[in-house]
Amino acid sequence: MNSLQQSRNQVIQQIEEACKQTQRDVNGVQLLAVSKTHPSESLREMYQTGQRAFGENYLQEALEKIEALNDLDIEWHFIGHVQRNKTKHLAASFDWVHGIDRLVIAERLSNQREASQKPLNICLQVNIDGQETKDGCQPDEVIDLVKQISQLPHLKLRGLMVIPAPGNIDAFKDAKALFEVVRAQHAHPEDWDTLSMGMSGDMTEAIAAGSTMVRVGTALFGARDYSK
């Protein structure tokens, strides 16, 4: 067994264990492989272990990998911060965008998504624990943003994404509570199905709190080298 197979098995085991401990269905937690800084050959190798969903943070790097791996059936997620000038490429080349925190960005993505493509899946990023430097809308803006973004024709708003400060387990519970508040008021609650939270260091706690998608990089691919 190669090392990526081994590390993926370990991560899946950890997800299964977290689900078991909290009596959750393991099918309710998706694994997103966060592959930023890793070469496309590593993604191809990870794909061969059965992984289909990959998350990238940097647009130019991501576009090169999408091109290099276009023979594979990968579901591409953009998990970096979304700036205005990036929306065109995101709308054209991705299946999911997690870092939406303003209506204007969502509108641009919807306008730029081709009608012939499937709607672009979106998560609204919330600054759940009031971090000063972090992106994300404020929790009290979420209800209005959900109403407005849900009207956009070429998007499918699926839920929330949070990146709490390391070790802030309570923030996962706050995110879950907010997620449920929105669901209770949602016109189509069945479409509101994604709570994107948890990374290599805190996926167990995130799953215990109700995460439906963990974004895991280091535990799958090893440490990142930003020097290149």
Ligand X SMILES: *Cc1c(COP(=O)(O)O)cnc(C)c1O
Question: Contact between 57 and ligand X (CB under 6 A)?
Answer: yes
Cβ neighbours of residue 85 closer than 8 Å, sequence gap 6 or more: none
Question: Contact between 42 and ligand X (CB under 6 A)?
Answer: no
Q: Which of 29, 34, 97, 195 binds ligand X (CB under 6 A)?
A: 34
Of 62-70, 85-93, 204-212, 215-223, the segment contacting ligand X by CB under 6 A is 215-223
Residues 155-184 interacting with ligand X (rule: CB under 6 A): 163
The answer to whether the CB of 132 falls within 8 A of the CB of 89 is: no
CB of 173 to ligand X, least distance (A): 19
Question: Contact between 131 and ligand X (CB under 6 A)?
Answer: no
Q: What values do phi and psi take at 133, rounded to 5?
A: -95, -5
* DSSP string covering 104-139: HHHHHHHHHS-TTSPPEEEEEEB-TT--SS--SB-G
Question: Contact between 199 and ligand X (CB under 6 A)?
Answer: yes
Q: What angle do CA 37, 161, 69 make, to 5 degrees?
A: 35
CB of 34 to ligand X, least distance (A): 4
| Chain positions contacting ligand X, by CB under 6 A | 34, 36, 57, 79, 163, 199-201, 215-219
